[in-house]
Amino acid sequence: MNTAGSFNEWIPGLDRLPRLLVVDDQPLIIRVLNEIFKNECQVSMATDSRRVIEICRKQQPDLILLDIMMPGIDGYTVCRQLKADAMTADIPVIFVSSQQEVENELRGFDVGAVDFITKPVNPVLVYARVRTHIAVKIQRDLLRASALQDGLTGVSNRRRFEETLELNWKQDLREQRELSLIMVDLDYFKRYNDYYGHLEGDQCLIRVAQTIKAVLKRPSDSLSRYGGEEFVCLLPDTNQQGAKKVASNILRSIETLAIPHAESPLASQVSVSLGGATVKPNLTMNRADLIKAADIQLYQAKQQGRGRYMEIQLPADAAGTDCQTIVHDA
């Protein structure tokens, strides 16, 4: 259906198909809604309301069409759970229900829904409402992203990193999964700036940032500029071996990039030092412990000669405890 141009034409700045999640225990309703939006959105479908939170954390839909009367957990409860979870709270929910009483609509708004559509659905009406709410959501996301993006390199800034770390720490704490963090620092970058000039230094930072970003394959992994020539990779649900693999790929990719560095005592091209830390979040530690541990490993990597990765596995029961450090050369 296309009443006034596609979603991409109608929503400025949208360079992908919007993600729409349809939750209903009636296959006929799911087929009808899928038919309406299949050419305009990436449509995901769920018939089990108990899986909605899990699906939303992984897929991060731009909007949810949610039935109220569902077996197991009703739509009101699902919406309330979505709004209570920091990772899903901003996803707009439109209730789709055969219940037409005003009390039901008011209850839907009370639990956090943005709209209420009655069955049987009117295709033109549901299309217009979904498009409007998706446009508001995506425009808000784009505005927020611009405030959380590093102006030079295009990767996330430090504020975005801190927000993302907080979300992932809580999620991995709740699900008892390991979380890894890698600090990356360009070796002898002041000498690079002094020799080549700050404009070339900026281009160097951009190329290095985009190269590191390309190494991070999973949507859940993130790269942020932490400050100056220092970057940080956040790897949720990643153990020490997984972080080591990412770090090794970063070292190889920067070496392959082969940016000349005439003033480096280490090599004739730009290199990086990396420090990593892995932990299973627990109540005896906080996020600052993970950052501090990775930063210490980065310092150790520089002390050991730079151009290498050093890592640490933090214990589950002691913040700030010294652990075995492992060194990986480029």
Mean pLDDT computed over every residue of the chain: 90
Q: Look at residue 73 and tell me whether its pLDDT is greater than 70.
A: yes
* Alpha-carbon span 329 to 308, nearest angstrom: 4
Residue 274 backbone dihedrals phi, psi, to 5 degrees: -130, 140
Average pLDDT over residues 233-238: 96
Average pLDDT over residues 223-239: 96
Average pLDDT over residues 17-34: 93
Please state which of the ranges 35-49, 228-242, 244-258, 316-330 shows the lowest mean pLDDT.
Answer: 316-330
Q: Look at residue 3 and tell me whether its pLDDT is greater than 60.
A: no
Q: Which CATH architecture has domain 158-329?
A: 2-Layer Sandwich (3.30)
> What is the enclosing helix (H) or strand (E) of 174?
helix 158-175
Hey, what long-range contacts does 321-329 have (CB within 8 A, 24 or more apart)?
325/297, 325/300, 326/244, 327/301, 328/244, 328/247, 328/248, 328/251
Contacts of 241 (CB under 8 A, 6+ apart): none
Q: Look at residue 320 and tell me whether its pLDDT is greater than 80.
A: no
Task: Identify whether the C-beta of residue 278 lies closer than 8 Å to the C-beta of residue 316.
Answer: no
Distances (CA, A) of 69 to 45, 54, 169, 244: 16, 20, 34, 47
Does pTM surpass 0.75? no
Report the pLDDT value the prediction gives residue 305, as an integer from 0 to 100: 94
pLDDT interval class at 203 (50, 70, 90): very high
* Alpha-carbon span 224 to 22, nearest angstrom: 33
pLDDT tens digits along 138-175: 888 888 878 899 999 999 999 999 999 999 998 889 88
pLDDT tens digits along 274-294: 999 999 999 888 999 999 999
pLDDT interval class at 321 (50, 70, 90): very low
Distances (CA, A) of 31 to 24, 40, 68, 242: 10, 15, 17, 40
202: left (phi over 0), alpha (psi -120 to 50) or beta: alpha
* CATH class in words for 7-143: alpha beta
**Hey, CA dihedral for 263, 265, 266, 268, is it positive or negative?**
positive
Distances (CA, A) of 149 to 89, 128, 144, 159, 164: 21, 31, 9, 9, 13
Which of the residues are catalytic?
Answer: 229
User: SS3 for 262-322, per residue?
Assistant: CCCCCCCECCEEEEEEEECCCCCCCHHHHHHHHHHHHHHHHHCCCCEEEEEECCCCCCCCC
* Alpha-carbon span 282 to 235, nearest angstrom: 17
Q: Look at residue 24 and tell me whether its pLDDT is greater than 70.
A: yes
Average pLDDT over residues 31-53: 92
Domain ranges for the chain: 7-143, 158-329
pLDDT tens digits along 294-306: 999 999 999 999 9
Report the pLDDT value the prediction gives residue 314, as an integer from 0 to 100: 93
Q: Look at residue 44 and tell me whether its pLDDT is greater than 50.
A: yes
pLDDT tens digits along 205-225: 999 999 999 999 888 899 999
